């Protein structure tokens, strides 16, 4: 039985200007969805609403059966630590630590083990001993993806996870993310500018003229 992981209803938001209104989105287990849209249309902001980081001006976000903006800080903290995998547009790795140490911090906090096969699949096993500052942008991106998946999250929010990658590596990252959600009955919500990556997802949306439209 598929489980509804995320259900957002009637989401509207404005900073100075209105970004979007009446956004609806549902994500079920073992499913992937992509959000496309021009730079500045509000894709990252939407992802922040869905992933507990920013309360929308209006609307409700139900994540794993919890209405997140009514929860206490400690409950949000727990949700983030154990259930959510958030791959930010700009990766937040500890620069002075090695790739392996970065992954260890996340797995320890979540009470999980490091998955060596995952590092192999992402083609970063060889660089695990190196400091983050010595890695290429694309290697850092893959380390941050490995770090997130090592936590074994139920819902993955990924903001341009393949942004810095060549096509072959981008496809490899998509393979890893899609395999992960199928094996773990998790869900993936992806923001991307890359139509080809969006096509690999089960569903696609476009954020345009302040509306989120389902296109596939």
Give Rg (Cα) of the chain. 17
Residues 76-93: b if buried by 16+ CB within 10 A, e if exposed? beebbeebbbbbbeebeb
Shortest distance, position 15 Cβ to ligand ATP, whole Å: 4
Query: Does 39 help bind ligand ATP (rule: CB under 6 A)?
Result: yes
- Distance separating alpha carbons of residues 19 and 36, to the nearest angstrom: 15
Query: Does 45 help bind ligand ATP (rule: CB under 6 A)?
Result: yes
With CB under 6 A as the contact rule, the residue among 44, 57, 107, 184 that binds ligand ATP is 44
Nearer to ligand ATP, 43 or 154 (CB): 43
Helix (H) or strand (E) holding 211: strand 211-214
Shortest distance, position 110 Cβ to ligand ATP, whole Å: 27
Nearer to ligand ATP, 15 or 65 (CB): 15
Applying CB under 6 A, the span of 20-28, 42-50, 115-123, 180-188 interacting with ligand ATP comes to 42-50
Tokens of 200: 């690999």
Shortest distance, position 162 Cβ to ligand ATP, whole Å: 13
* Sequence-ordered alpha helix ranges (H) in 64-162: 73-82, 99-110, 116-121, 137-150
**CA 43 distance to own-chain centroid:** 12
CB-CB contact of 83 with 71 (8 Å): no
- Distance separating alpha carbons of residues 9 and 60, to the nearest angstrom: 5
- Coil, helix or strand for 65? coil
CB-CB contact of 96 with 135 (8 Å): no
Residue 70 touches which member of ligand ATP, Mg ion, none, C-beta under 5-8 Å by kind = none
84-123 mask for ligand ATP (x: CB under 6 A)? -----x----------------------------------
List interacting residues with Mg ion (CB under 5 A): 44
Nearer to Mg ion, 45 or 184 (CB): 45
Query: Does 40 help bind ligand ATP (rule: CB under 6 A)?
Result: yes
With CB under 6 A as the contact rule, the residue among 6, 32, 37, 93 that binds ligand ATP is 37
**Applying CB under 6 A, which residues contact ligand ATP?**
15, 19, 37, 39-45, 89
């Amino acid at each position: 039985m598929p489980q509804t992981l995320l259900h957002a209803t009637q989401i509207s938001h404005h900073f100075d200007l209105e970004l979007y209104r009446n956004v609806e989105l549902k994500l079920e287990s073992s499913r992937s969805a992509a959000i496309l849209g021009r730079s500045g249309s509000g894709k990252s902001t939407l992802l922040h609403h869905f992933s507990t980081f920013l309360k929308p001006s209006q609307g409700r976000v139900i994540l794993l059966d919890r209405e997140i903006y009514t929860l206490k800080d400690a409950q949000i903290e727990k949700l983030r630590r154990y259930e959510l995998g958030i791959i930010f547009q700009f990766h937040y790795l500890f620069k002075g630590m090695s790739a392996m140490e970065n992954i260890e911090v996340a797995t320890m906090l979540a009470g999980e083990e490091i998955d060596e096969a995952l590092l192999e699949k992402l083609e970063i096993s060889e660089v695990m001993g190196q400091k983050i500052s010595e890695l290429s942008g694309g290697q850092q991106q893959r380390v941050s993806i490995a770090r997130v998946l090592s936590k074994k999250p139920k819902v993955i929010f990924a903001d341009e996870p393949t942004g810095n990658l060549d096509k072959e590596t981008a496809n490899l990252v998509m393979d890893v993310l899609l395999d992960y959600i199928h094996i773990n009955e998790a869900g993936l919500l992806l923001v991307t500018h890359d139509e080809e990556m969006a096509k690999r997802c089960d569903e696609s949306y476009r954020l345009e003229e302040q509306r989120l439209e389902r296109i596939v």
